[in-house]
Amino acid sequence: MLAFLKTIPNESPDAISAVIVIILYLLVGFFLLLTGGKWLVDGAVSIAKRLGISTLVIGLTIVAFGTSAPELALNIVAAVDGQTGLAFGNVVGSNIANVGLVIGISALVAPLLVSSRIIKLELPWLMVITGLFVLLTWLPPGVADAPGYGLLDGILLVLGAVAIAIHWYWIGRRESNDTLSSEAVKSEVDDRSGLIERSVPLSCLLLILGLCLLVGGGKLVEIGAIDAARAMGIGEVLIGLTIVAIATTLPEIATCVIAARNGQSDLAIGTVVGSNLFNLVLVMGFTSIVHPVAVPEIGGWWSLGAMLVFTLLLWPLALTKRSVGRFEGLLLLALYIAFIVGSIWIETDRPAGDAVETTTHGIRSDRQVVVDHAGGGWHDRSLHVGRR
């Protein structure tokens, strides 16, 4: 941020106004995230309580899809603009942040109890899908004869999202017809959350409003963060892996922290697992259908490897005492910080001439940030998007 402020002359009121706008974006965005997260958790738990569906299923489906909406919206826009490095970094970086940042912070707020179903079914599902996601980059036809996700890959990923959604739908339907399960869920919610019992329509309205606030708040934070980063000349892939990934993960952070504080561990973990799955199959699926996404030459394999490590690490952490405690939360946060440092090192270690250009195996997206000292501002100039 100091480097960003140094680019702004003291006599430039326009640039100072732009900084104030960015700060307002961030402040309002964080407020919307906190409010939206509380409403979403209240609505989701109330629906589970009324319909007899476990909070885990609600977290895996409705909440996970809702909190993945910022990633989906951003990636579609990025794909249309040809910013494939940003789109790739957002998906992979968000999945890493969901484990290292979201689970880490939530576990510090309150230890997360892990149900046997998560250990036996949902985490193995996530590990398999993550492994296949990485393997898919090497399968033909690829992107411009290089590893990546093309049209066929995108269609396969979207079909995988449909299959996962059907699987969770049948689980939810089975649970809603199970009287014993329904009573257990109601008792659990009553004992641990202390939420006011609401009607289903009111709970749905609360959930929808919460999702809207989360998406809006995440977008405001994202705009402010990206504007500041581009003014500092940070590369497209690094922006996606770090700033954008963290910004679009803020809905998950708000939701899971509030859920953890309310004793809803299944909702918190289910949101992370479901969000990661949706990011891989749905977000990247639609993104690669709109525009081929190649693995970036700079930082691409490093980030894919880190995503695999973080995902595989979840299982042994969950197996220890069937919970993710504060020590495990600190460990995940430390590893996430190490990933951020490594990503920055890779970015700064590249040739100086590549500072504002991202090339990914034949897919070229050149974006240049111009700091206009004479005019007292900055703007983002798109130079060229296309195949070499």
DSSP per residue, 187-230:
HHHHHHT-PPP--HHHHHHHHHHHHHHHHHHHHHHHHHHHHHHH
- More confident site: 241 or 5: 241
Supply the pTM of this predicted model: 0.73
Confidence of residue 373 (pLDDT cuts 50, 70, 90): very low
pLDDT average, residue stretch 230-242: 75
Q: Is the pLDDT of residue 71 over 90?
A: no
Q: What are the Cα distances from residue 65, in Å, to 155, 249, 363?
A: 19, 12, 29
pLDDT at 34 over 80: no
Residue 15: its pLDDT value, please? Answer: 67
Task: Note the pLDDT of residue 139.
Answer: 82
Question: Between these two residues, 221 and 330, which has the higher pLDDT value?
Answer: 330
Range of weakest confidence among 24-28, 67-71, 212-216, 276-280: 67-71
What pLDDT, on the 0 to 100 scale, is given for residue 180? 41
Q: Please check the confidence at residue 323 and state whether its pLDDT lies above 60.
A: yes
Residues 343-364 pLDDT 10s: 888 877 765 544 444 444 444 4
Domain ranges of the chain: 2-351
Query: Can you give the pLDDT at residue 319?
Result: 79
pLDDT of residue 185: 44
34's tokens: 């906190």
Q: What is the mean pLDDT of residues 32-60?
A: 75
Distance CA 165, CA 296 (A): 30
- Residue 298 has φ and ψ, to the nearest 5°, of -105, 110
Q: Evaluate if residue 179 carries a pLDDT over 50.
A: no
Instruction: Looking at the chain, list the stretches that DSSP marks H as alpha helix, in order from N- to C-terminal side.
Output: 2-6, 13-51, 55-58, 64-67, 69-80, 84-97, 104-109, 116-117, 123-136, 151-176, 179-192, 200-231, 236-238, 245-261, 265-278, 284-290, 300-319, 326-348
Is residue 68 within 8 A of residue 270, CB to CB? The reply is no
pLDDT for 355: 43
CA 144 to CA 124: how far, in whole Å?
32
Q: What is the CATH number of domain 2-351?
A: 1.20.1420.30
| Least-confidence region, from 133-142, 308-317, 360-369 | 360-369
